[in-house]
Structure 1
Amino acid sequence: MTNIYVFKFQQEADAVQAELHMVPSVIAAESLYGKGAVRLGLQYTLCRQKNAMVIKSVNEAAEAVVRIFTSYAIKVFGEQSFEVERKEPNGQEG
């Protein structure tokens, strides 16, 4: 299972600020699945120029990080200040 999530933030929601919420998301998932599972299953990249973050998930632990991070983003920035799109690894939308 490989999923790629593209988070695109509006101007009022800064991707750099959003990255700060990745840390507690990772810690929360590590508490449930273990540090190794999260480290092996999660990869993310911040694109400051596009005010976006791309998250690659290859296991259940990483999927938990994505869900937790999404919840943080909704609480902190609001539902209208970003959009998230799941893409298939081959570039197709999911």
Structure 2
Amino acid sequence: MWVARVALAIVLINTEIGGELDVFEKLKSIKAVREAYITYGTFDIVAKIESPTLSEIQKVVNEIRNLKGVRSTLTLIAVEGKHFQR
């Protein structure tokens, strides 16, 4: 079975106070953002990004960082082939 390889990153997002819903809605329009969750705790939103290359991941992260209401991000790049899903 052929499996397309993609770069994957998890982006942890801090928003301006009260801005999480607005940023969450904006993330829906970014095609590479496959999943997003509003969370309690240190970060306001967690987003999963999939893209063909790491350079494309970088572009998407920069796009997220430039969204109005985003204060900061922390990006975790997944190691290829080292994951599981239930």
TM-score (norm 2): 0.54
The DSSP-based 3-state class of the residue aligned with 2:13 is strand
Deviation sequence 1:34-89 (CA, Å, 0-9, x none): xxxx4xx7222121x346111112324883554433322xxx23xxx611001244
Report the aligned-residue RMSD.
3.0
Please tell me the residue identity of whatever aligns with 1:55: A
Please tell me the residue identity of whatever aligns with 2:64: F
Aligned equivalents of 2:11 and 2:22: distance in 1?
18
Percentage of identical aligned residues: 7
The DSSP-based 3-state class of the residue aligned with 2:74 is strand
The number of residues matched between the two structures is 69
2:74 matched to 1:85? yes
- Which structure has greater strand proportion? 2
Please tell me the residue identity of whatever aligns with 1:6: L
2:62 matched to 1:57? no
The DSSP-based 3-state class of the residue aligned with 1:21 is helix
TM-score (norm 1): 0.51
Q: Which runs of 4+ in 1 moved over 6 A?
A: none
Aligned equivalents of 2:44 and 2:10: distance in 1?
13
In structure 2, the residue matched to 1:7 is 13
Please tell me the residue identity of whatever aligns with 1:70: R
- Which structure has greater helix proportion? 1
2:26 matched to 1:21? yes
Q: Is the 8 A contact 2:65 2:72 kept in 1?
A: no
Please tell me the residue identity of whatever aligns with 2:36: Y
